Amino acid sequence: MDTHKVGSDTTVLADSLEVPGLGHIPVNAYVLTAREPVVVDTGLSVSDRDFVSALGEVIDPADVLWIWLTHPDRDHTGGIFDLLVAAPRARVVTTFLGAGIMTTERPLPMDRVYFLNPGQSLDVGDRMLHAFRPPLFDSPATVGFYDDKTRICFSSDCFGGPMPTAELAESGHANDLRPDELRAAQLVWATVDSPWVHVVDPVKYRSTIDPLREMNPEIVLCTHLPPAVRMTDAMLETIGMAPDADPFVGPDQIALEEMLKAFEPGSTPAAAT
């Protein structure tokens, strides 16, 4: 895990997971040190991560007043309940649907929840955070936001892309890749994470990109991409290509057996039935 600043008051808590055949998927959370401090997502739900300790290197968790949950998938909620204990004044910004999805495993305390829908805004003391639904998403509860003070867009899963190394995933920047490499990575992610993009009306889909173009953020911070600075136009062009990209087809059982064989030299794959 790596911690580094982006801009004057935003910090990346960068993690990653290796996915065979795809690469290293960045998994970022963020700290926005506004007058009312905001934590954006809370990391991976795996046993060897301690999100609150990592957060404590950036800010006293007790000072956190808002936890913006971009959506309730397990790679966004790893430290949320520990953080609610460590940050007793904090409220979780989510949607009605997001809170509902959380109840299928462990419900959020409803007196700590703040419902905010796309199109609404949150006042955090020294700026407004403007909620929107990103063009690409894998959860109907997804809500990103635009920080009108720093011109940073927090895009949740939209614009993600696997990186070739863990070092680049956790400590790099999106422009460390050649433009063609970044485009290929982002199109792979778009088809993995938002497979519906192949079956919707491309014209209607591309119209959902227009609000981001009008927003024109200087920096895009995605959960699954290193920070992207002054790259918005190119990345919007890329996600506009997603409906025409090749659909993702994951490994089948034969491929899985080959992977297992590679990890256990000398073993014989199980016969398919």
46-81 residue pLDDT tens: 888 999 999 999 999 999 999 999 999 999 999 999
Residue 145: left (phi > 0), alpha (psi -120 to 50), or beta? beta
Distance CA 160, CA 239 (A): 10
Give the H or E element holding residue 53. Answer: helix 51-56
Mean pLDDT of all residues in 14-21:
93
Distance CA 64, CA 31 (A): 9
pLDDT of residue 265: 57
Task: Set out the domains of the chain in order of their start, with CATH numbers.
Answer: 2-263 (3.60.15.10)
- Nearest Cα residue to 90 out of 104, 70, 108: 108
pLDDT of residue 266: 55
- Asked if residues 31 and 59 have their Cβ atoms less than 8 Å apart, the reply is yes
pLDDT digits (tens, 9 = 90+) for 186-237: 999 999 999 999 999 999 999 999 999 999 999 999 999 999 999 999 999 9
Distance CA 51, CA 49 (A): 6
Cβ neighbour number for residue 147 with a 10 Å cutoff: 23
Does 181 have pLDDT greater than 50? yes
- Regarding pTM above 0.75, the answer is yes
Whose structure tokens read 């990186």? Answer: 163
